[in-house]
Structure 1
Amino acid sequence: MATAALALSGLTAGTAHAGEASDVIVPLGTCSFAHPVLAGVHTVKAGRATVQLRYSTTTHCAWGRIVNAKKNDKVWVDRTYDNGKTYTHLGATTVKSGSDTHTPSYYDGGGAKMRTCAHSGGVTRCTWPWF
């Protein structure tokens, strides 16, 4: 398996899990932002911004959120099937205006674990542990 370079502040993605459809969002209507809870560590600071992994208990989908951010800050979700040895970046989203944004929501894949990462103020941080 090859490691793919991510065109996001020079970061490198982990290796994709064999057979994983990493860039596929569950069909429209399946994932939603309904009944969200904070997953893993509730807040992690990335520079000036706060990063959150949000999770829908009804649709079993996760998404990343960044608040107190500035224009051009980034947030994304990582998904792993092997406890973080390899992972895939999903839904990299840039703050275009205002001070917050979120990624699309992604199904946890019935065995996948997720985390949210952000790049803000020259600092990259991720929520922990994998959820």
Structure 2
Amino acid sequence: MRIKKKVASAVSALAMTTGLLAMSGAVTTASAAEGCNTDPVLGTARSATGARGQLFELRYHGSGNNTCAWGRVTNGAVGMHVWVDRSHDGGRTWEPQLGIRRVDAGTSVHTEAWPDRNGSLMRACGDSGDNTAITCTGWY
């Protein structure tokens, strides 16, 4: 009986993980379909220094109501993460961890670009690895 419960728990966890991955994949595809990319860079809107000296940046290009933004970590290390949060109500609530990326090699990585339209605010966030403190730039 105990083995059946463990198998059922494992299957349930796998189904939840697969569902979450499918959801994040759908979100990622939507941003790319909206015409955003990371080139050309017009500038860094906000930056913040993480617990281990890494730099998190919210970068952008475009103008007016046609702006795209993405997060980047530099001076990082393998295992660190970066992502973008987007808010449509001034930062009271937000869509968390859009395009989360992990530094797998080297010292930097960036997320894909996300549309920043209709008065939404964006910020870049990241950590020093799994289960470490999160650092975020200011909203822009």
The TM-score bracket by the shorter chain reads: 0.7 to 0.9
1:45 matched to 2:49? The reply is yes
Report the TM-score when normalising by structure 2: 0.69
The counterpart of 1:116, out of the listed 87, 107, 124, is: 124
Residue in 2 that maps onto 1:104: 112
Cα distance, 1:67 vs. partner?
Answer: 0.4
- Off by >6 Å, runs of 4+ in structure 1: none
Task: Find the structure with the greater CA-based Rg.
Answer: 2
Q: Percent identity?
A: 34
Query: What is the aligned counterpart of 2:91 among 56, 69, 84?
Result: 84
Could you tell me how far apart the structure 2 residues matched to 1:35 and 1:115 are? Answer: 16
Q: 1:56 aligns with which of 46, 54, 61?
A: 61
User: Which residue number in structure 2 is paired with residue 11 of structure 1?
Assistant: none
Where do 5+ consecutive residues of structure 2 fail to align? 1-16, 18-25
TM-score by length of 1: 0.74
Q: How far 1:57 sits from its partner (Å)?
A: 2.5
> Where is the strand percentage greater, Structure 1 or Structure 2?
1
Q: Give the C-alpha shift of residue 88 in structure 1.
A: 0.8
Q: Structure 1 residue aligned with 2:101, among 77, 93, 98? A: 93
**Structure 2 residue matching 1:57: 3-state secondary structure:** strand
Q: Tell me, in whole angstroms, the C-alpha distance in 2 between the residues paired with 1:82 and 1:69.
A: 31
AA in 2 matched with 1:37: G
Offset at residue 38 of structure 1 (A): 0.8
Q: CA RMSD in A?
A: 2.1
Structure 1: runs of 5+ lacking an equivalent:
1-6, 8-20
**Which structure: greater helix fraction?**
2
Matched residues, number: 108
AA at the equivalent of 1:117: C
After TM superposition, the structure 1 = structure 2 runs for residues 57-72 of structure 1, keeping only pairs within 5 Å, are 57=62, 60-72=67-79
1:25 is matched with 31
